[in-house]
């Protein structure tokens, strides 16, 4: 008897293990275009970062006095240094780019050590002191002024005299102070005072009736 059953189908071949790689970029000109685009975006981003940093840095270079400079002083190159400060609107300062033209000019007002040169500080000749101010000299012994006193300080000029009752006090600004030339710690000072007080202070200083008290620049006498 003949067997008419259909023979079983051969088994299917086993599936390949793993996932075939996906080709993201082609080769040739198309791949080069993608690389050029990526490089362009990278450079653009870097330049944008640099520009953003420059915009954030709003400081400007200004001219600063290395030491105390009196009114009438002819500016030399070694009198100044450059510092960077935050930009201030409405404040006229002499920028670092004007260093060359500033040298040889005359200061119309005193500038203390570390002070920034304002635009109004330069002129053909010193317009100092102002019409309502006067400069008075005084030689003071130790104990009649603070040992830490320096040029630019605001002081109260205290006058004590036997012929007057109580104590007189006058506002003043220290224009200069010299202690180096003394051997006993005394000081020779120049004081900027109101012109109406100048004669009284000068007379008291000559009679050794003056003492100085350093005060807040915005405070009273």
Band (139; pLDDT cuts 50, 70, 90): very high
Q: Of 94, 95, 92, 64, which is closest to residue 78 (Cα–Cα)?
A: 64
Query: Does 103 have pLDDT greater than 50?
Result: yes
* Chain segment 67-100, per-residue pLDDT in tens: 888 777 788 888 999 988 875 554 578 888 988 8
Band (28; pLDDT cuts 50, 70, 90): low
Query: Does 9 have pLDDT greater than 90?
Result: no
Q: Give the whole-number percent of the chain exceeding pLDDT 90.
A: 24
Query: Does 56 have pLDDT greater than 50?
Result: no
What is residue 220's predicted lDDT score, i.e. its pLDDT? 57
Lowest-confidence segment of 46-50, 152-156, 157-161, 182-186 by average pLDDT: 46-50
* Chain segment 107-136, per-residue pLDDT in tens: 877 888 888 888 777 775 556 677 788 889
How far is Cα 82 from Cα 61, in angstroms, rounded to an integer?
6
Does the model's pTM come out above 0.95?
Answer: no
Please indicate whether residue 16 or residue 67 has the higher confidence score (pLDDT). 67
């Amino acid at each position: 008897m003949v067997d008419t059953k259909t023979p079983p189908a051969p088994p299917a071949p086993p599936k390949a293990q793993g996932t075939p790689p996906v080709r993201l970029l082609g080769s040739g000109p198309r791949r080069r275009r993608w690389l050029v685009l990526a490089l362009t975006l990278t450079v653009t981003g870097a330049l944008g970062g640099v520009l953003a940093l420059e915009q954030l840095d709003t400081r400007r270079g200004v001219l600063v006095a290395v030491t105390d400079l009196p009114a009438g002083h002819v500016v030399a190159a070694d009198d100044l240094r450059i510092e960077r400060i935050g930009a201030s609107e409405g404040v006229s300062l002499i920028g670092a780019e004007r260093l060359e033209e500033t040298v040889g000019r005359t200061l119309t007002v005193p500038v203390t050590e570390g002070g920034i040169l304002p635009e109004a500080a330069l002129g053909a000749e010193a317009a100092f002191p102002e019409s309502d101010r006067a400069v008075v000299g005084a030689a003071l012994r130790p104990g009649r002024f603070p040992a830490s006193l320096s040029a630019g300080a605001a002081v109260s000029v205290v006058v004590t005299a036997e012929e007057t009752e109580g104590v007189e006090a006058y506002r003043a600004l220290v224009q200069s102070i010299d202690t180096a030339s003394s051997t006993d710690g005394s000081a020779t000072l120049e004081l900027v005072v109101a012109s109406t007080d100048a004669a009284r202070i000068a007379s008291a200083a000559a009679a050794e009736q003056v003492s100085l008290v350093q005060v807040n620049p915005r405070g009273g006498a």
